[in-house]
């Protein structure tokens, strides 16, 4: 019984010792994701797009005309030619509405949690 108790105590100590190290060893980057918003037919899809802080949003222009992704002060892709991509790393929480500067009816939103 004493041996068993000692073994259990030893195991618990090992688990307690290993756990914090294991958590600390997980880099924040490994959990961040990348999402793609397709621009096609003068529409952003998907929109709204929900991501987490640290995630990357990639916009891909599949149209035959240029567009922009203009989120006012948060981000601005400037001219995005057909076939091009542009990305933005979501660093702040919030609802980020954006539009195309060339086509004001093209509206989109990224929600960062
Ligand atoms: Cu446009």
The chain-wide mean pLDDT, for the chain, equals 85
pLDDT tens-place string over residues 23-47: 555 555 568 999 999 999 999 999 9
How many angstroms separate the alpha carbon of residue 93 from the centre of ligand 1?
A: 26
How many angstroms separate the alpha carbon of residue 32 from the centre of ligand 1?
A: 28
pLDDT confidence band for 2 (50 / 70 / 90): low
Beta strands in the chain (DSSP E): 34-40, 43-45, 49-51, 56-61, 85-89, 94-99, 107-112
How many angstroms separate the alpha carbon of residue 108 from the centre of ligand 1?
A: 11
Q: Is the predicted pLDDT of residue 53 greater than 80, yes or no?
A: yes
Q: Using CA atoms, how far apart are residues 48 and 93, in angstroms rounded to an integer? A: 14
pTM of the model: 0.74
How many angstroms separate the alpha carbon of residue 20 from the centre of ligand 1?
A: 49
């Amino acid at each position: 019984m004493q041996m068993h108790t000692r073994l259990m105590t030893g195991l618990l100590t090992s688990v307690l010792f290993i756990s914090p190290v294991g958590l600390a060893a997980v880099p924040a980057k490994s959990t961040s994701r990348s999402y793609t918003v397709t621009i096609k037919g003068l529409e952003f899809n998907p929109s709204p797009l929900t991501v987490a802080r640290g995630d990357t949003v990639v916009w891909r222009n599949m149209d035959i005309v240029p567009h922009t992704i203009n989120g006012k002060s948060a981000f601005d892709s400037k001219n995005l030619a057909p076939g091009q991509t542009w990305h933005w790393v979501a660093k702040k929480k919030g609802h980020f509405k954006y539009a195309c500067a060339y086509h004001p009816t093209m509206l989109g939103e990224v929600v960062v949690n």
